[in-house]
Structure 1
Amino acid sequence: MARYHIETYGCTSNRGESRAIESALRDAGHYRVEEPEEADVAIMNTCTVVEKTERNMLRRAKELEEETADLIITGCMALAQGEEFHEEDVDAQILHWDDVPSAVTNGECPTPGPGTEPVLDGVVGILPIARGCMSNCSYCITKFATGRVDSPPVEENVEKARALVHAGAKEIRITGQDTGVYGWDKGDRKLPELLDRICSEIEGDFRVRLGMANPGGIHGIHEELVEVFDRHDKLYNFIHLPVQSGSDTVLEAMRRQHRVDKFVEIVETFDETLDYWTLSTDFIVGFPTETEADHEQSMALFREVRPEKVNVTRFSKRPGTDAADMKGLGGTVKKERSKEMSELKMDIVAEAYESMIGETHRVMVVREGTGDSVKCRDEAYRQIIVQNASEHGIEPGDFLDVEVTSHQTVYAFGKPV
């Protein structure tokens, strides 16, 4: 769990984005502190209205860099003129608003609040299906808060999902510290059965997104799981498999429950079965034992599997974890490796979204965006922005067909067909 400090500059839209970031961070068990010196990570949501504002943003970014362990910069200036921060040698991650919560976690499992009760947020229903995990990663503090996995019965989670749909949910997000090990504590992994029953037994027009599933938990049920994906249109063709490293040596030091070949086998199975899907994964850069050769193996794996959504996180120590006692790498090394991987990430993600231009996709409107726009998700959970929403009478919860007209690296723009 991380202590975060957040500063927001600019318009009402930016303040709304910061509220969404904070909501996700609180759901994951992180908590806010008022002073950057007290924080594990500082988040700066920037504005870029005039030149004076830009100078102020650069000045404050350099101050925050000196005051906190890690700095994340997002918002309008970061997305439009991110290179200016690099030119000023500001040591920070430049991220889209949507990518900030995942980057804060340092590769750890998400940590929801007490219990596993569902939450309805607009048209999005959040359904924690279990609490705890089966892993013992050397860098993760979450296990101290959550313990081993405790899985409610499938029927109980199906009924919670049904209640969310009846309450107005159009998207159900299946969450947990590790959704892949759901049911393991009862002697059998039940994730494929749960997803199948939610999609087949609950009436209504809604979509289901599967949350983070570690490769070690998914391997062994991945063939059964991908058949469920292939069978149900209600299930987004999206899976979040955090690999964390392309080096088996580093994975062993991390005490991850998978090796690279198992991760690749899962990806290949999804590739062979689904024509259009999104792979999301995480990489921790600069783990204490990571050599230059280990980093190159991670880069090679990145190029091989070409994930469309990636969280690149520079390793930072969590108190009480075994990795906190390891002799760490220098900040410059982590910064350079992170920069190299982040640049590759942007190239691959941009390529994925560019390939969509001219295609028509069925989307669900998830929430309002900036100005008169809405944020939508297509069949593979890729983000498509529809502008001038009020002119078309579009609002959250609607389903529509859109033609992709352009993209801006990490999302696409579309117009209703």
Structure 2
Amino acid sequence: MKKKLFIKTFGCQMNVYDSDRMVDLLSPLGFETTDVLADADFTILNTCHIREKAEQKVYSDLGRINIIKKEKQKQGKDMIIAVAGCVAQAEGKEILRQAPYVNMVFGPQTYHQLPEMLAELMRKKDQDLKGPGRGVVNVDFPKEDKFDALTLPEKSSVSAFLSVQEGCDKFCKFCVVPYTRGAEFSRPFHKVVIEAKKLVELGAREITVLGQNVSAYHGLDESGKEHSLADLLYTLSAIDGLERLRYTTSHPCDMQEDLIKAHADIPKLMPFLHLPVQSGSDRILKDMNRKHDRNSYLDLIQKFRNARSDIVFSSDFIVGYPGETDADFEQTLDLVRQVNYGQCYSFMYSQRPGTPAALNELQVPDDVKSLRLQKLQALLAEQQQAFNTSKIGTEQEVLLDRTGKKEGQLLGKSAYLQSVIVAAPKRLLGELVTVRIKTATMNSLTGDIIAVNGKKI
């Protein structure tokens, strides 16, 4: 009888990729996934450490899971509880101290050792160990490449993630990534291509290339030659059956000319680019250690627009960074107006333990941060609504990848990552359809299918 695996994934697409690979690792051990927590024999929280109160949210979830674990134990069953990801990396053994019912803690660089960690846990259970030694904690940064230990994916959705780069060497003062994911590392070029071909073979028609700083990718091929992200995109675009390419997340300092040219040359590369800036104030950007200024960012935006006129941008913004004045914030609003984004993510600054910005004495009061966030989000919402509304009456290519809330509905993504709702039979799941857009809200579009895979209906 198959054992049940429940994984809850927090945070970025990198974590989604990691969770999928954990499933692949555990499948040969007799585990199959379940969406019902109470049925699980093994529960993994794959955590994110970026935002405020990340640890508290994890401990809150763990408390609820432990209630279910106790109920199972009353029935003579059990549940292994594991905390993975960046909170696990940052907290380590502290998780076992605060939540003694947790069995395993492992970071994003060690999940490839999951089978060995499970075996170690079973040995400890057989020995009936008590106290701090009873659980398994593995938050090292091992010397071996975890990707070498991973087999090729066993399944793929129509829209797949492909992790090619991890870690970050930029050390922005607000960010925990260099401490939880480690130094920048690029997967070998030829191995990435092999995995991409496998994903397409398994049914992927769209691949999003992932990295904490994916634009810094510099993978080596079998001959030792170094390849840039642009080289990788050109190569992936030649894979038969792959219809769409995306990449995220980038740093403005690593956007080289060959990558800009790729946007002009590769039709499969979608005209939607996430390019975080965080602030429109040069003073704040310098204090953040972003290594670029406002004008260099705006110049980069223009270079991409010159390469591909239909490209649209999204970004990340932090308001209330230590020392941010009203004038600094107004410069952020001005930059937003200049760029005119399709969609964005915006957050109040939160102190992340262990980062330099957390020690800055010029912390902005919460009420000021809240008001600034409201003002910024109102402007961003206005831009997003305007962009979506501009698509009414146009024909958009949409990759249908999931069912809708209502019977007879399918949902998909436009080239600009807009959610598009259509009336369609389930047999069209996974197809690339042309949709004439009829309505637009801030969060989604609706329309009618007029062609399937380029053929009029």
Partners of 1:410 and 1:113 in 2: CA distance:
35
Partner residue of 1:249 out of 274, 283, 295? 283
Q: Give the corresponding residue for 1:39.
A: 56
1:209 lines up with 2:208 in the alignment: no
Cα distance change, pair 322–264 in 1 and its aligned pair in 2 (3 A): same
Which digits, 9 at most, give the CA deviation of each residue in 1:325-345, with x for residues without a partner? 112111100000000000001
Superposed, 1:18-33 pairs within 5 Å as 26-27=15-16, 30=47
The letter of the residue matching 1:263 is Y
Q: Give the corresponding residue for 1:383.
A: 419
The letter of the residue matching 2:432 is F
Cα distance change, pair 23–178 in 1 and its aligned pair in 2 (3 A): closer
Partner residue of 1:191 out of 205, 222, 229? 229
Q: Give the corresponding residue for 2:165.
A: 130
Partners of 1:311 and 1:283 in 2: CA distance:
6
Partners of 1:299 and 1:320 in 2: CA distance:
29
| 1:277 Cα deviation from its structure 2 partner | 2.0
Task: Give me the TM-score of the superposition, normalised by structure 2.
Answer: 0.65
Structure showing greater radius of gyration is 2
Give yes or no for contact 2:244–2:268 (8 Å, CA) kept in 1: yes
Superposed, 1:322-337 pairs within 5 Å as 322-327=356-361, 328-337=363-372
Q: Give the corresponding residue for 1:281.
A: 315
Cα distance change, pair 40–283 in 1 and its aligned pair in 2 (3 A): farther
| 1:234 Cα deviation from its structure 2 partner | 1.7
Task: Give me the TM-score of the superposition, normalised by structure 1.
Answer: 0.71
Give the alignment's Cα RMSD to 1 decimal.
Answer: 2.9
The letter of the residue matching 1:192 is A
The letter of the residue matching 1:291 is T
Q: Give the corresponding residue for 1:267.
A: 301
1:299 lines up with 2:336 in the alignment: no
Which digits, 9 at most, give the CA deviation of each residue in 1:237-289, with x for residues without a partner? 12111000001110111111221122111110121221322201010011012
> What residue ranges of structure 2 are gaps of 5+ in the alignment?
1-6, 19-45, 61-106, 111-145, 451-457
The letter of the residue matching 1:165 is V
Give yes or no for contact 1:360–1:401 (8 Å, CA) kept in 2: yes
Cα distance change, pair 239–189 in 1 and its aligned pair in 2 (3 A): farther
| 1:370 Cα deviation from its structure 2 partner | 2.1
| 1:171 Cα deviation from its structure 2 partner | 1.5
Q: Which SS does the other structure have where 2:315 is aligned?
A: strand
| 1:22 Cα deviation from its structure 2 partner | 7.0
The letter of the residue matching 2:443 is V
Partner residue of 1:409 out of 422, 438, 442? 442
The letter of the residue matching 2:206 is E
Partners of 1:385 and 1:141 in 2: CA distance:
37
Give yes or no for contact 1:129–1:175 (8 Å, CA) kept in 2: yes
Partners of 2:199 and 2:176 in 1: CA distance:
31
More off after superposition, 20-29 vs 202-211: 20-29
Partners of 1:262 and 1:189 in 2: CA distance:
25
Cα distance change, pair 244–184 in 1 and its aligned pair in 2 (3 A): farther
Q: Give the corresponding residue for 2:34.
A: none
Superposed, 1:304-323 pairs within 5 Å as 304-323=338-357
The letter of the residue matching 1:399 is L
Give yes or no for contact 1:253–1:289 (8 Å, CA) kept in 2: no
Greater RCO (CA < 8 Å, at least 6 residues apart): 1
Give yes or no for contact 2:108–2:181 (8 Å, CA) kept in 1: no
Cα distance change, pair 382–229 in 1 and its aligned pair in 2 (3 A): farther
Q: Give the corresponding residue for 1:56.
A: none
| 1:206 Cα deviation from its structure 2 partner | 2.6
Q: Give the corresponding residue for 1:240.
A: 274
Q: Which SS does the other structure have where 2:398 is aligned?
A: strand
The letter of the residue matching 2:244 is R
Aligned residues: 324
Partners of 2:12 and 2:180 in 1: CA distance:
19
